[in-house]
């Protein structure tokens, strides 16, 4: 508080007038705020928490899908001697591993979003750092046996 404001507050108190005090700080609950991480878009705690809950519901759906996938595998039996059964088992194992990784990624992202919503990650730099760590941990692998870009070399119609 500046000296002039202090003198005014004392004069107001002496004159039995209401004393108005200003603090040079951000209001406690200012609602949405702009962030560099979000490209200058305004965000709020509720938005971060809601996003975390949404990602969590994806994880729940993946768990349900994994259970159904596993149920569909029951009764397959031995795959030796049957090429289609062996191929089907290989595809199942691949999708099961992939779905578990996606579920783990959803869990990590959900946790991050909820920590931002609960003010455990307070600065843009800390949020960006956590997001960068997730990108590294869950970096996609190159496409297998296909093209990673658009279709090339195809000039004819269908």
For the stretch 103-133, pLDDT in tens is 999 999 999 988 888 777 777 888 888 889 9
pLDDT score at 76: 72
As a whole number of angstroms, the distance between CA 152 and CA 95 comes to 28
pTM over 0.85: no
**CA 12 – CA 133 distance, rounded (Å):** 55
pLDDT at residue 84, rounded to an integer: 81
pLDDT of 158 higher than 70: no
Of 56, 75, 32, which is closest to residue 114 (Cα–Cα)?
A: 56
DSSP 12-66: HHHTTPPPP---SS--S----EE-TTTTT-EE-HHHHHHHHHHHHHHHHHHHHHH
Q: What is the CA radius of gyration of the chain?
A: 28
| pLDDT at residue 157 in the model | 46
- The rounded distance, in Å, linking the Cα atoms of 73 and 65 is 13
Read off the pLDDT of residues 46-82 as tens digits, 9 standing for 90 and up. Answer: 888 888 999 999 999 999 999 988 888 877 777 777 8
Percent of the chain surpassing pLDDT 70: 61
> Within a 10 A sphere around the Cβ of 130, how many other Cβ atoms?
19
pLDDT score at 143: 63
């Amino acid at each position: 508080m500046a000296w002039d404001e202090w003198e005014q507050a004392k004069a107001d108190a002496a004159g039995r007038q209401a004393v108005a005090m200003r603090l040079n700080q951000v209001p406690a609950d200012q609602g949405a705020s702009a962030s560099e991480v979000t490209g200058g878009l305004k965000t709020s705690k509720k938005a971060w928490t809601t996003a975390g809950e949404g990602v969590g519901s994806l994880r729940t759906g993946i768990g349900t899908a994994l259970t159904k996938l596993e149920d569909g595998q029951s009764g397959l039996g031995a795959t030796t001697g049957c090429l289609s059964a062996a191929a089907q088992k290989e595809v199942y194992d691949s999708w099961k591993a992939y779905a578990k990784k996606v579920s783990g990624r959803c869990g990590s992202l959900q946790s991050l979003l909820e920590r931002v919503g609960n003010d455990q990650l307070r600065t843009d730099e800390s949020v960006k750092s956590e997001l960068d760590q997730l990108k590294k941990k869950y970096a996609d692998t190159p496409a297998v046996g296909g093209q990673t870009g658009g279709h090339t070399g195809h000039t004819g119609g269908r």
